[in-house]
Amino acid sequence: MTDKPSYLPERLALLADLNAARYITEGLLAGKEDVSAIALNKATEPLPGDEARGTLMPVRDLVDDAMHGFREEKVTAADAWLAPRLHATLRLTRREAADRRLWNYLALGVAPDYVVWRHTTEPGKGEAPKVAAQRFRGPAYSQAFARLWWAAELFRNGSDYGPVAKVCAHQDMLNTALRLAVIDHRPTAQALVSLIDSGVVRTGREVNALAKAVNASAATIMYDVMAPDVERDGRPMARWIEDAEWAPAVPRRTLPEGPGEERAPEESVAVLTAHFAELFAEAPVRGKRTEDEEAE
C-alpha cells in the first residue's frame, strides 16, 4: 500500500496541475507506489503568508486519526468525521478553497496514503482495485479533500456542522449535491438535509430523483426569492480565520464550531422542505413501484 510521505515540510504548499500530473502514476493509483516526497516539494509554490492555518501537521494528524479511527469500518464512514474537522482546521475563504493547487498538494504531498485508503475501488470482474486519478487532481466534487471541504462549507448552518455530518454520512447525497449549482443557496442545502433527517429520502435512487427534480424546478422557480436567505456578512468569517492564530486543535470526539455566522432562516428552510417534498412525491424513482402497481 502507498505509505505516508517520507518528508513532510513545516507548511502546506501549492502544487500546479501540470506538476501534480507527473506524480499520479499507475503504480500510485494501484496503491503500489509511494510519491517521491522530496522531488514533489521542489515542484511546489509556497503558500502565501505565514499564518498558523498554513501549518501542515494539524492536517496530517487529522488524516492519521481518521484512518486509525475507521480502520475497522467502511472507509466511507470517515467522510462524516473528517469533513467538518478539515474545514475547521484549514479555515479558508471560498476564494482560497477555489485554488486547485492546494488540494493537489494535500492529496499528493500530505496524504496520498489517505487517498488510496479512502478511494480505492472494490475489485471488479477482471479489474484490479484502483483509485481514480480525479481523487488526486480533479474537480471540487470529486477530489478527495476538496469534496469534503466544500461539503462542510455548503452544508454547515452558521457555526453548526451537524448538517454536514448528516450529508457526508449519506454518500449518494454527498456525491450528488455537490454537483448542483443551487446548493450554494443555504435554505436549499438545509432543506435537503431536512428531507434526509426526516427519512423522506433514504436510498441512493431516491436522492438522485430528488436532485433531478430540485434542479429542474430551479429553472422556473427562483429559490432565493421563494425562500430568502439573510444577507451574508463577511465579518464572522474574517474573525474566525484570525482566531486560527491561537485556536487549539479541533476536537476529535465532538464537532468543532465553524464561523459565527447567522443560521439560515428557519421559515425559508421550512418553505423549501415542503416544496421539495412535493417535488419528490411526483419524481420518478428507478425501481419504485407506483401506487397503481401496488394496488394491482
Mean pLDDT of 183-209: 95
Mean pLDDT of 90-119: 98
In this structure, the number of other CB atoms found within 10 A of the CB of residue 5 comes to: 21
Query: Can you point out the beta strands (E) in the chain?
Result: 13-14, 45-46
Going by pLDDT thresholds of 50, 70 and 90, the confidence category of residue 127 is confident
Question: What pLDDT does residue 295 have?
Answer: 41
* Lowest-confidence pick of 36-45, 123-132, 214-223: 123-132
Q: Which cell is 59 given?
A: 492536517
The contacts of residue 22 (CB under 8 Å, 6+ apart) are 43
Question: What pLDDT does residue 123 have?
Answer: 80
Going by pLDDT thresholds of 50, 70 and 90, the confidence category of residue 287 is low
Spatial separation of the C-alpha atoms in residues 180 and 183, rounded to whole Å = 6
Query: How many Cα atoms within 13 Å fall on the side-chain side of residue 187?
Result: 23
Going by pLDDT thresholds of 50, 70 and 90, the confidence category of residue 291 is very low
Enter the DSSP assignment of 31. Answer: T
Degrees, nearest 5: CA angle 267-272-273: 95
* Lowest-confidence pick of 86-90, 91-95, 267-271, 291-295: 291-295
Going by pLDDT thresholds of 50, 70 and 90, the confidence category of residue 119 is very high
Mean pLDDT of 170-182: 91
Question: What pLDDT does residue 288 have?
Answer: 64
pLDDT, tens digit (0-9, with 9 covering 90-100), for 140-160: 999 999 999 999 999 999 999
Question: What pLDDT does residue 122 have?
Answer: 84
Give the SS3 label for residue 174.
helix
> Which is higher by pLDDT, 285 or 31?
31
Question: What pLDDT does residue 47 have?
Answer: 95
Our measurement of the distance from residue 71's CA atom to the centroid of its chain's CA atoms, rounded to an integer in Å, reads 20
